[in-house]
Amino acid sequence: VGKKVQAIYLWWHKPVIDKELLQSLPNLKVIANSGVGMDHLDLKLVASFGVKIANAPRAVSSSTADTGMALLLASARRLLEVHNISISSSMEYREADILGVKVAGATLGIIGMGSIGYKIALRAKAFEMNVLYHNRTRRKVQEEQAVGATYCKKIDSLLQQADFVMLVVSLTPQTHKLIGKRELELMKPTATLINISRGAVIDQEALVAALRTGVIRAAALDVTSPEPLPRDHPLLKLKNVIITPHLGIKTDKATYMITEEAVENILAALNGLPLPSEVYPS
């Protein structure tokens, strides 16, 4: 059977692509990834077997940006907390003291201004937010002006000014534990951290400590390390945390588009044509 396999469509990191698997599939030509993140793949290893790799960058950006905004708003307005109060069977009812944070006029700091980060900036602008961003490279002036975004060359500057910090970087050795104790302490005590990138971008232990002691106000995480977290993990018990099960791209439309992109790449590889979204080991 192994000899027949020419293409793999990787769904949620399964199957695990290791040396053993690659050796058992001598006619494998292409691995198409469902999503844009490639941190779970050993690109050099795969390339060494002469296998091409593709991801699905176009399909994910809007859905992921939407998830980022959904988490920002849900956290700012304490949506989950108050929903639970609203449906609770207890007769206790608190009215006027359930106050949230006003989003209009607040400052959003976007860390990682790729396609997804930029779409977030577009959305934030419509919510009358002030947008700062930190990126490896600065965007063009016209791009900045279109969303009213101000570049922060130093991440510290962004962290100190933002009311909401949103992580939209890809996971690389440079972004691993990008947000640790030092960075959390630079943030405002009234600030919210939102993560839609990868769990490993945050030093999770440092985050738990920061949330417990009020170093930052709250967190909203679509990604953790691992997924799911162990059932006794402190993050699951904190009142000021929203955690969603990596639903960044989990919509009917996005799933369809991702599969379409993957099929395009697979067919191209099998026909010896250039791949629309090939990924190369750096």
The residues annotated as belonging to the active site are: 198, 227, 246
Radius of gyration of the chain (CA): 21
Q: Decide if residue 275 touches another protein (CB under 8 A).
A: no
Q: Decide if residue 1 touches another protein (CB under 8 A).
A: no
Closest CB 260 distance from another protein, rounded Å: 14
- Amino acid identity of residue 43, one-letter, is L
Q: Pick between residue 67 and residue 265 the one whose CB is nearest to another protein.
A: 67
Binding mask 103-142 for another protein (x = CB under 8 A): xxx----------------xx-xxxx--------------
Per the rule left: phi > 0, alpha: psi between -120 and 50, beta: everything else, 49 is: alpha
Binding mask 28-67 for another protein (x = CB under 8 A): ----------------------------------xx-xxx
Q: Pick between residue 6 and residue 115 the one whose CB is nearest to another protein.
A: 115
Q: Are 30 and 273 in contact (CB under 8 A)?
A: no
Q: CA 160 to CA 153: how far, in whole Å?
A: 13
DSSP at 272: T
Q: Pick between residue 131 and residue 269 the one whose CB is nearest to another protein.
A: 131
Contacts of residue 14, defined as CB under 8 A and 6 or more positions apart, other chains included, come to none
Element (H, E) at 68: helix 57-76
Q: Decide if residue 230 touches another protein (CB under 8 A).
A: no
- Amino acid identity of residue 216, one-letter, is I
**What is the full DSSP assignment across 208-249?**
HHHHHTTSSSEEEES--SSSSPPTT-GGGT-TTEEE--S-TT
Q: Decide if residue 95 touches another protein (CB under 8 A).
A: yes
Q: Decide if residue 227 touches another protein (CB under 8 A).
A: yes
Among 87, 142, 213, 282, the residue binding another protein under the rule CB under 8 A is: 87
Q: What does the binding site for another protein look like in residue numbers (CB under 8 A)?
A: 11-12, 62-63, 65-67, 69-71, 73-74, 76-80, 82-83, 85-87, 89-91, 93, 95-96, 98-105, 122-123, 125-128, 227-229, 231, 236-237, 242-247, 250-255
